[in-house]
Chain A
Amino acid sequence: MSLYQDRLLTEGIRIIEKSTPSDQFHADYAELSFEQALTKRTKLAELRYQIAPVLKHFQQLFTVFCGLLSILFFILGASSVSQLLVNQSNSQINFFWAIVLFLAPNLLSLIIWLFVFFKPGALSSSWLANVSLSLISLLDKLLHKAHDQHPYYTSLFRYYFEHQFGAYFGRARLSLVSHLWWTCYLLGATLSLLLVLATHQVDFIWQTTILSESVFTQITQLLTTPPHFLGITVPNANDVAQASIGAINSLSSAQQSRVSWANLLIFSLTVYALLPRVMLMLFFKHRVKSKKRQFQVNFSLPYYVQLKGQLQPVSNRSFISDPDSEGRDSVDLADRHDLVRNSRFPTDALPLAIELNSALLSKVRGQIDPIYSVSLINVIDGQTQQQAISLISDSNVNDLALYVDIKRVPDRGWLSFVKKCNTDPSMMIYLVILGEVILLEDERASLRFKDWIEMAAQAGIDASRITYKQINEVESE
């Protein structure tokens, strides 16, 4: 399948999936570029959606449509030649009428085409596109049996032909089509003219009511210059004068003049009309082909951006490299709110602050230094830890009062320190948690409070020895 067809298929799948790409087409996309990954997904999705046959059908439909119309135009062109034969015996052709009949509309339509072609968007939404589309629909109804229709037939149909006639392809496609039809028309005309000339003896004449002979002479001059260069015998001014209706030809020159008029007519038809059309047609055929090759799916559409996230997520894999073997210790908690009111703490204990910031520390110092016999140390690093531990073993106290900040998250470092302090099993440890807010009113603080109680339980501090002190309260006492 060609790249273009793959991409068209991808787009078809987008039409079917509408705005949200399905995530059911699993495969390993990680090591591909996005475009490659998309192609792979398209192949997978196609197995389910089966839209390639539908697209193929559309393609055929389009070919049939162009073919039928080409034949029609060919016949039209062929039959139009009979228009040229002027009298009953069919032995005369009005030369200038023939020229006007074939060249003028052709030229006019070329000019219109040029105008429309260079006006962006005009061709793709033009009536030609609309007419083509409705004719194709009609054709489709005639050709297609309803029972084997794909469930998304209509939307695919709409998409496919919008795509063919739309902004990307439209100009090239419609140009190709219109040049093709004109080519057929002119070809039909040329061939049947050849046939007529081969089998009839006709005289070439011209008629006028209001124009003078010099006009015809000039036109002839204009038309004959190129073939004259090519060495084809063409009529001269004299022949023009003689071809005026009613002029009597001398027999000897008559045949020669016929041939040269016939040459000119056929030359004009092929070179002035048919050739440019054929060339334009070939050019646009080539252009359609190269446009097909260059056709890119618009990856900036939300659908594709979403798909990209799906096929190739930023993080595609997570894995545990060093698992935890112990599991978490969890502690059952008593109703913690009772504890808030529990404010009994001994005055003969050794007070220790743990990791208080300076503001809090000075407030607490001012508050409790008078209560205790020793001054409060703030344990903030390894050194102060050592100090505290030696103080405990030296002073021989029974009880320990720990002051902590509720904002700090209790961690294992705290725990290991408290365990180090707790050398004597008979020692009682009290925990005073300091904070600025009313505990029950602050969600965050009560969450932390819970953490502290859990941690205290691990340190062997009984819940009845835990107190929450609001710092303002400490101050006011």
Chain B
Amino acid sequence: MNKQLLSVAVVGHANTGKTSLIRTLLRDASFGEVADKAGTTRHVEGAEIRVDNNQNLVIYDTPGLEDSINLLQVIDGQSHQNDGVDRLLSFIQHEVNFPELSQELKVLKALLSNDIIFYVVDVREPILGKYRDELKILSYAAKPIIPVLNFIDSPGADVAAWQAQLARLNLHAFVSFDSVVFRFSDELKIYQKMQTLLAHREQQLAQLIEQRKQQWQEREVAAQQLIAQLLVEAAACRFKVDNNEQSIEVYSEKLQSRIRQLERQTLTQLLALYQFKQDDIDQHDLPIQEGQWELDLFSSDNLQEFGVKATSNFVKGAGVGVAVDLVAAGMTLGAAALAGGVAGVLWGVKQRYYDEIQAKVTGHRYLCADDLTLQVLWARQLSLLLALQQRGHASMTKVSLATVQSDKIELPKKWGKWLRRARQHPQWLASNNSDQPLLADKKQLIIEQITTALAAISEGKVAD
């Protein structure tokens, strides 16, 4: 198999988060078993990370080294050769004599058979003798080692002490990581460190880094597009109602449920995009249940969470009427007149404004989602996206969405214009059943504008 670019063994003491680290790198929450307990992983388990169509990085999870003091004594007692590799080999030869060290043995084999070692450290721990012995055993294998300092965001983390200890063993090129508060830059750092340690693979690792970056970017843009699309479609959503209270009430209800449904669709897609399965959602305590937001968009609890005072108007889910935008109408007229004769003009007007004009004449009006609803909708998606992006595939604590408040979110400058546009194009939401020409390109254009604005917002967040 010349497909294999590199193989990595992830080793470390029990419960330091080896399996969690791999889950995060693989973006796969179903890899292996994770539990807050020693000895969770008992097999050596490998997985491939795709670089491109003909290269893979193989990464192996190993059981924790638990009894390193004993192990080191045995290894050193077994043979008096100077060479570390020989010592390890001679221990492996006599493995049958030490059934109680069978887990450690697997780790030693993994150490010898892979190209590079990630040594995972729980930085909340003091530097005990057992960890020093682990490092000594690792040094016998004479393989490049990247120490991965895990739990850096947890209370009691003592990064400096560990750094000093590792430096004493000539391990200067460590990376810090936290599988729960995930930062993409940390992941890149791991690969970059690999690059410096494995000079002869530099090219391929550069490719891997490039590919991961691109993937991350692509996914972010796609997620932003989904949110933009939700905004456009929710704004385009409309119902024709009679001009009386009862009818308005009935259709307000329908409008609400239609918008809820749209939000749910987006949620499903976002989760699929970020490869979160139902299990993960349960495990990660996202505010989501069975593919739905825990809090209803229109519930007063949700509004409170986004800092909106539940005015009676809003609770009714109030729609607002759309008026014919005469300026826009004038522009269409102009454009149509340029493009060709009177027939064209009439055609254009009929296409665009027939429904509205007819509604005016017959005493109906259109109900669509008001600005506040759309703002809360927007804020919710933003906070969800942020949560999804910072979530390693190994995290287990609850995200709080309350950090975003709707009176504090700045709306993009063109917000009002987008909403106006969208409201004038009922055909952009399939369930409106409008028979007007689709104008999908125009919709895509708006979606792209909103996506750009979203990218600017998220960049600002990163810069903070």
Contact A305 B66 (CB under 8 A): no
Pair B441/A162 contact, Cβ less than 8 Å: yes
Interface residues of B in 26-47 (CB under 8 A from A): 26-28, 31-32, 36-39, 42-47
Tell me whether A315 and B38 are in contact (CB under 8 A): no
Indicate if the CB atoms of A321 and B42 lie closer than 8 Å: no
Of the four ranges (under 10, 10 to 19, 20 to 34, 35 or more), the interface on chain A belongs to 35 or more
The answer to the question of A380 belonging to the interface, with a C-beta cut-off of 8 Å to chain B, is yes
Query: CB < 8 Å: which of A31, A316, A324 contacts B54?
Result: A31
Q: Does B21 contact A (CB under 8 A)?
A: no
Closest residue of chain A to B156 (Cβ to Cβ) is A407
Interface of B is mostly: helix
CB contacts (< 8 Å) of A309 on chain B: these are 219, 273, 275
Answer yes or no: B204 CB below 8 A from chain A CBs.
no
Complex: A31 Cα to B48 Cα, angstroms: 13
Taking CB atoms and an 8 Å cut-off, the chain B residues in 260-299 that contact chain A are 265, 268-269, 272-273, 275
- Is B193 an interface residue when CB atoms closer than 8 A count as contact? no
- The 8 Å CB contact of B347, one of A32, A116, A131, A411, is A131
Is A321 within 8 A of B442, CB to CB? no
Interface contact A412-B67, CB-CB below 8 Å: yes
State whether B273 touches A306 (Cβ < 8 A): yes
CB-defined contacts of A159 to chain B, threshold 8 Å: 440
Contact A20–B272 (Cβ < 8 Å): yes
Contact indicator B269/A20 (Cβ below 8 Å):
yes
Residues in B whose Cβ lies below 8 Å from that of A129: 437
A412/B103 in contact, CB under 8 A? yes
Q: Which of B38, B133, B439 has the most CB of A within 10 A?
A: B38
Q: Mark B193-225, 1 if CB is under 8 A from A, else 0.
A: 000000000000000000000010011011101
Is the beta-carbon distance between A321 and B50 smaller than 8 angstroms? no
**Nearest CB of A to B438, in Å:** 5
Name the residue on A nearest B109 (C-beta).
A322
B340 contacts A by Cβ under 8 Å: yes
B134-184 CB contacts (< 8 Å) to partner A? none
Interface membership of B310, Cβ < 8 A: no
Give B337-370 as 1s and 0s: 1 = Cβ < 8 Å from A's Cβ atoms: 0111001110110010000000000000000000
Q: Which residues of A, 325-368, contact B by the 8 Å Cβ criterion?
A: 325-326, 328, 355, 357-358
Chain B positions 47-67 with a Cβ under 8 Å from a chain A Cβ: 47-50, 52-54, 60, 63-64, 66-67
Is A315 a contact of B225 with CB atoms below 8 Å?
Answer: no
Least distance between A35 CB and chain B CB atoms (Å): 11
**With A and B bound together, what is the CA distance between A121 and B443 in angstroms?**
13
Bound Cα distance A166, B441 (Å): 6
A385 within 8 Å of B by Cβ? yes
Question: Is B110 a contact of A409 with CB atoms below 8 Å?
Answer: no
**Residue from B47, B52, B268, B441 within 8 A of A124 (CB atoms):** B441
Interface segment among B123-131, B381-389, B403-411, B414-422: the answer is: B123-131
Q: Which residues does chain B contribute within 8 Å of A210, judged by CB atoms?
A: none
A442 to B373 alpha-carbon distance, docked (Å): 40
Q: Give Cα A321 to B440, complex, Å.
A: 51
Say yes or no: A115-B338 contact (C-beta < 8 A), given A127-B348, A317-B48: yes
Contact B273 A305 (CB under 8 A): yes
CA distance A340 to B442 in the complex (A): 68
A382 to B76, CA, bound (A): 12
Q: How far is the CA of A121 from the CA of B109 in the complex (A)?
A: 64
Q: Does A76 touch B at the CB level, under 8 Å?
A: no
- Judge whether A301 and B343 touch: CB under 8 Å: no
CA distance A313 to B27 in the complex (A): 9
Contact between chains at A166 and B39 (CB < 8 Å): no
Using A315-B48, A319-B45, A321-B60 as known contacts, say yes or no to A300 and B53 having CB atoms under 8 A apart: no
B15 within 8 A of A: yes
Q: B50, B63, B340, B438: which contacts A128 (Cβ < 8 A)?
A: B340
- A-side contacts of B229, CB under 8 Å: 302
Given A127-B348, A322-B43: A413 touches B275 (CB 8 Å cut-off): no
Q: Which 10 A-B pairs have the closest CB atoms?
A: A381-B129, A127-B344, A322-B44, A324-B42, A305-B222, A318-B47, A315-B26, A411-B66, A412-B66, A302-B222
Mark B residues whose CB is within 8 Å of A: 13-15, 26-28, 31-32, 36-39, 42-50, 52-54, 60, 63-64, 66-70, 72-73, 100, 102-103, 106, 109-110, 125-126, 128-130, 132-133, 215, 218-219, 221-223, 225-226, 229, 265, 268-269, 272-273, 275, 335-336, 338-340, 343-345, 347-348, 351, 437-442
Q: List 10 A-B contacts (CB under 8 A).
A: A162-B439, A318-B26, A318-B46, A322-B109, A323-B44, A326-B102, A328-B39, A355-B130, A408-B125, A409-B38
